[in-house]
Amino acid sequence: MTHALHSPLTTHLINRLRDGTTDAEEFRRLVKQLTLLLVDAALGEDDLKPVPLRTWQGENTYALADESEIVFVTILRAGLPMLDAVMDLFPKASVGFLAMKRDETTHEAKLYYDRVPECRGRHVVIVDPMVATGGSLNDAVTLLRQKEPARITSLHIIASPEGVEKVTATHPELALFIAQIDRGLSADKFILPGLGDAGDRAFNTL
């Protein structure tokens, strides 16, 4: 199931990301702000559990996210600013890392690093800024499903319609949250109008 925010606020923030004069520090900050909007949209009632709290009025029970049941997984390195944002929100959650490199000839992603904690019965949340062809995300979801999570949610800043179609066809059970779906892919399989290379722009490696 795909959820696209497409709000005036997300449009404003994404277009600031598109601006070529936005420096790396500002780029990371904008990505973090958009990530908070995505988490707000993706957080469901099932993620909240009753917890006894001692407040200024005495002890009572309130709903809080069960951080022990959440595993955030980022695809290196572009997803690191998104990971910072979610870890600020849920500092007790577990974190996993996948590293994939795109083959510039075949446009396919190849996994070369997998460091993901125990996922069985937990809510796995993937954070990665962009879904272009959908290949990396498809591979990540396939790998993570083998770890037997209760469910998988995926958060992204932008995506191409082609990438969304490919992912949802392969993994119809995936809850996909995207701030904005862009126009499409170029002949070289880059998102148009896109943001450029999110990793390079976030970490000054242009």
Domains of the chain: 2-203 (3.40.50.2020)
Q: Residue 80 — very low, low, confident or very high, per pLDDT cuts 50/70/90?
A: very high
Q: Please indicate whether residue 41 or residue 106 has the higher confidence score (pLDDT).
A: 41
Sign of CA dihedral 53, 56, 60, 65: negative
Residue 106: the pLDDT is 60
**Which range, of 41-50, 88-97, 109-118, 191-200, averages the lowest pLDDT?**
109-118
Nearest-angstrom CA–CA distance, 72 and 84: 11
